[in-house]
Amino acid sequence: MAAYDYDLFVIGAGSAGVRAGRMAASYGARVAVAEERYLGGTCVNVGCIPKKLLAYAAHFAEDFEDAVNFGWSVGARRFDWPTLIANKDAEIHRLNDVYGHVLRGAGVRIIDGRARITDPHSVEVGGRSHTAATLLVATGGWPTVPDIPGREHVITSNEAFFLEALPRRVVIVGGGYVAIEFAGIFNGMGAETTLAYRGPLFLRGFDRDVRAHMAQEVAKKGVRLVFNAEVVSVTKAADGLTATLADGTVLAADTILTATGRAPNVEGLGLEAAGVELNLKGAVVVDETYRSSLPSIYAIGDVTDRVQLTPVAIAEGMAVARTLFRGEATSVNYADIPTTVFSQPNFGAVGLTEEHAREACDGVTVYKSAFRALKHTISGRDEQTLMKLIVETATDRVVGVHMVGPDAGEIIQGMAVAMKAGAKKADFDATIGIHPTAAEEFVTMREPVAQARPEAAA
Ligand code: NDP
């Protein structure tokens, strides 16, 4: 091993790379991490963390309104975007420093600059060559922008976090996590917000009831939802921008944010020249232990375009460190990964949708509850919480848990533990609720709303 400068050279100090580097160093490996942009990657800088801070900020708008019927007199309200962005930036800088300390503290060398793979064991950063027994590609992803005329006028989530002012009118293109989260953020802060999605109903791939419920609740909060809306061009107008749809509709905005997915960040890395196989989307193809087509090059996180979630990237980082430096071939168990969209209201889920369960299970029993949360009986807010349990009838196993409502992410995390442990509906029934909470509904649902054998569903 000493023939190389390092045992492991990690390219990219995001969630995946940092965790892999730290763990590898803790197992005694000599590790370097190259990072060209910012420590902490997408999640820390232009993803999960700043997004959640902005989502908190947006929610205050409702909190002030809701307080009134609880007896509070709330004075004049004014939202100041630059204050929020400055405080957010300060927190992100603090986190960047924490990542630096943690890596250095673990004995990892941080190399600033863009790395390029020059051969299966070598990378070049800023004109200097470094060698390692194993190279680990953890460069993440980058937002894609549809190839339409005027695309140079739009922004992506990367820029949305650094706008100098809150736009008065925002059009958001897309119907996935980023689009819906930013719709809630801009709408909550008072911008006139339109979400344009190309299909008939956003959040494709999630449970049908949840998608319909989300559309209802998001619209109630004031976001203008335009479905079956294919944006074909963007033009600069005298007083802002316009997005033109395929049917000729024109949407006016000051800012147009495209949130249309992310692509693996592989450009200029030298992967193809080195002989590393990429798939059609440009993602590094890896086996179950994250090894690429070259035995000395591994890849984890969004650059492999599997499950684009930070905790998954972190788990992959730990797995690859164990595989390489503890001699235990490890891969992540991708079953039942819980997820939350930090929209307004939140939506969380773990396991199968009803549609998937009907295809995959031996009979399905569905429990569903839609209700107004206790808080809103006094606040007067017309917000409905939705909870849904999907049970495999033959085994009584809970195979899907879905929630739209406040703190859905916090609640679904616990449900995910129950599902990992193989909980049955009878276990949910035997669990005493915590009263009064919304979450107790998950352990008190007794009457199924639908029952079907797979053949009946077909
Ligand atoms: P998603 O893949 O979630 O959603 C992309 C959306 O854009 C879909 O609605 C898709 O439509 C639409 N779309 C794709 N291409 C085009 C196009 N050319 N023109 C118009 N619309 C298009 O991507 P996001 O950017 O929202 O997020 C990227 C990933 O990051 C997510 O998948 C998620 O894994 C992760 N993420 C996680 C978060 C969390 O955990 N809370 C938060 C943010 C991101 P269609 O469905 O029809 O294909």
Is any ligand 1 atom within 6 A of the Cβ of residue 175?
yes
User: What is the number of the ligand 1 atom nearest to the C-alpha of 342?
Assistant: 41
Is any ligand 1 atom within 6 A of the Cβ of residue 444?
no
User: What is the number of the ligand 1 atom nearest to the C-alpha of 309?
Assistant: 34
Residue 188 vs residue 454, higher pLDDT: 188
pLDDT, tens only, 5-62 = 999 999 999 999 999 999 999 999 999 999 999 999 999 999 999 999 999 999 999 9
CA of 80 to the centre of ligand 1 (A): 29
d(CA 182, CA 177) in angstroms, rounded, equals 9
pLDDT, tens only, 106-128 = 999 999 999 999 999 999 999 99
Name which residue sits closest to atom 23 of ligand 1, judged by CA: 261
Is any ligand 1 atom within 6 A of the Cβ of residue 390?
no
Among 74-78, 157-161, 203-207, which is the least confidently predicted range? 74-78
CA of 200 to the centre of ligand 1 (A): 15
Residue 2 vs residue 45, higher pLDDT: 45
Is any ligand 1 atom within 6 A of the Cβ of residue 174?
yes
d(CA 283, CA 286) in angstroms, rounded, equals 9
Q: Of 48, 178, 258, 265, which is best to mutate to test ligand 1, by the most ligand atoms within 8 angstroms of its C-beta?
A: 178
CA of 97 to the centre of ligand 1 (A): 30
pLDDT at residue 458 above 70?
Answer: no
Is any ligand 1 atom within 6 A of the Cβ of residue 442?
no
Is any ligand 1 atom within 6 A of the Cβ of residue 229?
no
The pLDDT confidence band at residue 185, using thresholds 50, 70 and 90, is very high
The tokens describing 407, both together, are 């703190």
Name which residue sits closest to atom 14 of ligand 1, judged by CA: 260
Longest dimension (CA), the chain: 72
Is any ligand 1 atom within 6 A of the Cβ of residue 341?
yes
CA of 302 to the centre of ligand 1 (A): 13
d(CA 160, CA 183) in angstroms, rounded, equals 12
Mean pLDDT of 402-422: 98
Average pLDDT of the chain?
Answer: 96
The pLDDT confidence band at residue 189, using thresholds 50, 70 and 90, is very high
Is any ligand 1 atom within 6 A of the Cβ of residue 234?
no
User: What is the number of the ligand 1 atom nearest to the C-alpha of 307?
Assistant: 34
pLDDT, tens only, 85-111 = 999 999 999 999 999 999 999 999 999
The pLDDT confidence band at residue 450, using thresholds 50, 70 and 90, is low
Alpha-carbon separation of residue 261 from 37, 52, 239, 272, 447 (angstroms): 21, 19, 28, 23, 39
The pLDDT confidence band at residue 452, using thresholds 50, 70 and 90, is low
Mean pLDDT of 70-95: 97
Instruction: Supply the pLDDT for residue 243.
Output: 98
Name which residue sits closest to atom 13 of ligand 1, judged by CA: 260
pLDDT at residue 427 above 70?
Answer: yes
pLDDT at residue 1 above 70?
Answer: no
The DSSP letter of residue 6 is: E
Mean pLDDT of 334-346: 98
User: What is the number of the ligand 1 atom nearest to the C-alpha of 230?
Assistant: 20
Q: What percent of the chain has pLDDT over 90?
A: 97
pLDDT, tens only, 314-337 = 999 999 999 999 999 999 999 999
- Residue by residue, DSSP assigns 257-296 as EE---EEE--TTS-HHHHT--B-TTSPBP--TTSB-SSTT
CA of 180 to the centre of ligand 1 (A): 9
pLDDT at residue 408 above 60?
Answer: yes
Q: Which residues participate in catalysis according to the annotation?
A: 435
User: What is the number of the ligand 1 atom nearest to the C-alpha of 179?
Assistant: 26
CA of 173 to the centre of ligand 1 (A): 10
CA of 247 to the centre of ligand 1 (A): 23
Is any ligand 1 atom within 6 A of the Cβ of residue 198?
yes
Which among 171, 229, 233, 178 is positioned nearest to 199, based on CA atoms?
229
Which among 315, 281, 387 is positioned nearest to 138, based on CA atoms?
315
Instruction: Supply the pLDDT for residue 456.
Output: 38
pLDDT at residue 196 above 80?
Answer: yes
The tokens describing 445, both together, are 């649902």
Beta bridge partners of 385: 371
pLDDT at residue 402 above 80?
Answer: yes
pLDDT at residue 252 above 80?
Answer: yes
Cα angle, residue 185 at apex, residues 179 and 189 outer, rounded to 5°: 145
The pLDDT confidence band at residue 224, using thresholds 50, 70 and 90, is very high
Q: How far does Cα 60 stand from its chain's mean position?
A: 22
Mean pLDDT of 393-406: 98
The pTM of the full predicted model, rounded to 2 decimals, is 0.97
